[in-house]
A and B are shown apart, each in its own frame.
Chain A
């Protein structure tokens, strides 16, 4: 689905909009532990998280994250939003839980990114 359609679906607010050509969300990974995001995702993905530490955008940069969706009403600092703008990584925030966010995205065609489990 298009990133521009996600705010309506999740009743969310865009923090930084996608540029042309960077607007399709087809796979996602959801975690609050950035350690797990770093260790267990195996391809470019949209990140769904409730973590707003400064490390979230640096992890996104290293992993070439496609977009970030902040859940539970979490809102990153303006510094993080500015950083995302420089990297052209679109962001939005929603008041919905991670569970509901994942369910709604899945129902609209978004699928898990290629990943592994901690014991693999």
Chain B
């Protein structure tokens, strides 16, 4: 296991379809170079990818994807400044989606994004205020035998 600490930050631009997923792919690649095991890197990659696509598809001004790596865990933060989520319980329901048709054409908008972020996390929290923005924090533990559900 790598003992290094690292902080990786990626800016995600609203509507930048061509680049969608590139930050998450780069993050996963960096984690593998640091010696993070494939299973944990895959989970972080999935969390990051879903967060990145949410920023690209829904956030008014895009947002920031950040990963903090410590020997104990990898903490992923996804943050934007709006529009915010009206009903978080509804947004967390598998299959619920407000995605536009163009997102569906890309293969996204199945209403699984937030659910999938939570499933792959050992810790998950979401805060959102309409008109102010959304903050999602996910943690993937680095201890062995600490898989998500």
Chain A residues within 8 Å of B, Cβ to Cβ:
32-40, 49, 51, 53-56, 58-59, 61-64, 118-119
Contacts and interface: CB of A to CB of B under 8 A. Distances in A.
Interface of B: 17-22, 24-25, 28-29, 38, 42, 45-46, 49-50, 53, 94-95, 104-113, 115-116, 119
A80 to B, nearest CB: 11
A55 B38 contact: no
Nearest to B28: A62
Contacts of B45: 61-63
Contact of A35 (B20, B29, B38, B108): B108
B24 A118 contact: no
A38 B28 contact: no
Given A34-B106, A34-B108, A63-B42, A58 B25 contact: yes
Main secondary structure of the interface of A (DSSP, over half): helix
Nearest to A58: B21
20 contacts: A32-B107, A33-B107, A34-B108, A35-B108, A35-B109, A37-B107, A39-B110, A39-B112, A39-B119, A40-B112, A54-B17, A55-B53, A55-B106, A55-B108, A58-B22, A59-B107, A63-B45, A118-B95, A118-B110, A118-B112
Contacts, number: 81
A53 B28 contact: no
Given A32-B107, A38-B49, A55 B21 contact: yes
Task: Report, nearest first, the 6 A-B pairs whose CB atoms are least far apart.
Answer: A58-B21, A34-B107, A35-B110, A62-B45, A39-B112, A51-B107
A54 to B, nearest CB: 6
Nearest to A118: B94
Given A33-B107, A55-B106, A62-B49, 19 more contacts: A34-B107, A35-B107, A36-B112, A37-B107, A38-B49, A38-B50, A39-B115, A39-B119, A53-B17, A54-B17, A54-B20, A55-B20, A55-B107, A58-B25, A59-B21, A61-B28, A62-B21, A62-B42, A118-B95
B38 A64 contact: yes
Given A53-B17, A58-B24, A38 B106 contact: no
Contacts of A34: 106-108
B42 A38 contact: no
A37 B42 CA distance: 13
A38 B25 contact: no
A37 B46 CA distance: 10
B97 to A, nearest CB: 9
